[in-house]
Structure 1
Amino acid sequence: MRKIQSRHNPLFKKLAALKSVSYARKNQLIRLEGLRQVLDALESGFIPDHIFFSDDRKGRGLFHLIGSRLGEKGIQIEDDRMILLSASLFSHASGQKSPQGVMAFLTYRPGRLSACLESLPKEASPKRLLVLEAIQDPGNLGTLIRTADAFDFDGIILTDSSASVWNSKTVAASMGSLFHLPLFEEEHDIRTTLRLLKQADFEIIASVLEGEDLREARPFHTRMALLLGNEGSGLSAGAVEESDRLIKIPMAGRAESLNVASAGAIMLWEIAGRYGAVKDFVLE
């Protein structure tokens, strides 16, 4: 493990710059903060470019703990990737009021949807995807990633107008699920993306305020993609027009709508149940 004491060090500057979402996205680097986030990445097979520890009792304790966990799993990380930062530098680079003693960053590149679809067998093998159009809040995005993971979906497609997966708030809200299932960031307009899915025999299910009652909806196809829209305006007209079916969540109360993360959880739960994918889970 090597030590950095100067704020002019290029590696320290890079870590501090990752507090900027635009910088993180441009460089396709995800910043992790805290023991859980770092271990989630490591145990999912994502090896950080560097892991940083604060030069204090907390940081040194975490260094030994993470080293022990890596040894148990047979994961080796080169010594020069393990960095000790003075407590003042660590605090400066941290995005939290009370730094947790360990940070890391790793390279994260979303997959290509076209390559994924081309790899699918011609026969209609089961496949469930979540398509998110213009989800703006990183907390909602991370929660939806976590929920899709919990209900055994096979991947998530983001339009380029959605919140960034490189945002630390997205990473935190996903609770490690960002590293558990494929994610595709599409630069195509939503119509083109949905047409690609339909060419691969996916049924497009749109979550809307007016449509089939979710409780009474007929069975979904073996391959299906659930489409959720922006928190304020919902799905675009193009997305609705390209959808095969429009499904609504029945609401007997006086609320006009649900938060997109709440609506997504209900839709994902129902779809997973119909596919027999619902298992025991823990509420936190």
Structure 2
Amino acid sequence: MSNVNTAVNTTNPFRGKKGINSFNNRLFTILVWTVGIAIVLFILGLLFLILKDGLPKLSWDFLFGLPSEIEEGGGIGPALLNSFYILFLSLVIAIPLGMAAGIYLAEFAPDNKLISFVRICVEGLASVPSIIFGLFGIALFVEMFQLGLTILGGAVSLAFLNLPVLTRVTEESIRALPKELKNASFALGATHLQTIVRVLIPAAMNGIITGICLVAGRAFGESAVIILTAGVTTSGEMWDFSLFSPGETLAVHLWYVQSEAIVPDAQDIAQKSAAVLVFFVLLINLVFRIPLWMNSQKMTRS
């Protein structure tokens, strides 16, 4: 019997510490729940503080009106339009290039020191402060091409800012897929291109869309890059889609109102602008969740 107990204790080294392990497990669970609830409450409280002063004061005249430099009662129409316009242009540039680079690194790039160095560079660029990309945009569009502060310069600079993140997200989403998925596609006679387009990308779509959602929210609320490459003014027209017009966005307008504006109702404009900015960032995240939900439903049915 002694030999049996010894054998059991040898095969199960945690048997004698069952009580201590159970207590540690409960303590860790309580700690995780406490931290999680505290973070959620903090986020909700922060959103409430931002939205409670701005949302009740919103009006159509404010959302679609022209900003005023001196008189009170100005709107945010051109700045809000520029925010969506620059976001759209930057995503049109960044998404194809970022996905293509991520697919290359995941599926075609050789496993050598050069590619490892490229990955390190991409990860480094993903953590570079946005003002560095703004300085790059000045050097490229303002000084080299002599275009001045334009929507085009702001959109391309934002695309450069988002490219490293999209590249790494795409690569890691594809690398995280099981190898059996690709092997099964090859076994059915599919080419490498067909496997990437019809198997790997749909299977990795959840991670890719999550990355796009993150960079879209970041781009919509970005101010440093826009200030340096697109300026702090608008063309003065509500529906101006010229790529060479000044491109003040809502985030830049909020910064300008809080720091340099001389209008009497600057604080009121700042509160309403902050509420609109947070609301649309949340809306962008919600919109990008719809394809995630549709893709998960499709994968469940198949």
TM superposition score normalised by structure 1: 0.26
TM superposition score normalised by structure 2: 0.25
Larger fraction in helix: 2
Structure label with greater radius of gyration: 2
Larger RCO, structures 1/2 (Cα 8 Å, 6+ apart) = 2
Larger fraction in strand: 1
